[in-house]
């Protein structure tokens, strides 16, 4: 059993945590593709807890997990890209709403 900063992880648990993280990232991407960013955010919080736990162990330095870390990095980049695209889309919509409000105010001011 390994202990780091009060976090105890049995060697077999490392693989389980990595598998769970990979599953959560895949589910997060699927929810984002559906446009369900609330569910995606919830999954992000769950995966963040696992990343924190893994970060306090020696798992990131382990050669045996290199391939899986590469897959996780790819999934994480996909997630970031999808969130960035959604953020851009929402910013554009917000600007349109602002322009529409200005137009409505201008028309209301006319007799």
Residue 35, by phi and psi: left (phi above 0), alpha (psi -120 to 50) or beta?
Answer: left
Query: What are the residues whose beta carbons fall under 8 Å from the beta carbon of 24, sequence distance 6 or more?
Result: 43, 46, 47, 50
Confidence of residue 20 (pLDDT cuts 50, 70, 90): very high
Assigned domain for 6 exists: yes
CA distance 43 to 20: 11
| 95, part of any domain | no
The domain tally of the chain equals 1
Structural domain of 65: 2-82
pLDDT in tens, 80-111: 998 888 889 889 999 999 999 999 888 887 65
Assess contact for 68 and 18: CB atoms under 8 A. yes
What is the pLDDT at residue 12?
67
Is 90 within a domain? Answer: no
Tell me the C-alpha distance between 90 and 74, whole Å: 25
The verdict on residue 99 lying in a domain is no
Q: Which of 107, 87, 111 is nearest to 99 (CA)?
A: 107
Residue 19 lies in a domain: yes
Position 44 in a domain? yes
91: in domain: no
Does this model's pTM top 0.75? My answer is: no
The first and second tokens of residue 75, run together, are 């999934």
User: Residue 8: inside a domain, yes or no?
Assistant: yes
Length of the chain: 111
């Amino acid at each position: 059993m390994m202990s780091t900063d009060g976090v105890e992880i049995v060697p077999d648990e490392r693989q389980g945590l990595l598998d769970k993280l990979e599953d959560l990232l895949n589910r997060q991407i699927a929810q984002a593709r559906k446009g369900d960013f609330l569910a995606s955010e919830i999954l992000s919080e769950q995966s963040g807890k696992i990343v924190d736990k893994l970060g306090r162990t020696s798992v990131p330095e382990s050669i045996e997990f290199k391939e899986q870390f590469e897959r996780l990095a790819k999934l994480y980049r996909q997630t970031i890209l999808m969130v960035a695209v959604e953020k851009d889309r929402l910013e554009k919509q917000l600007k349109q709403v602002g322009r529409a409000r200005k137009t409505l105010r201008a028309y209301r001011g006319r007799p």
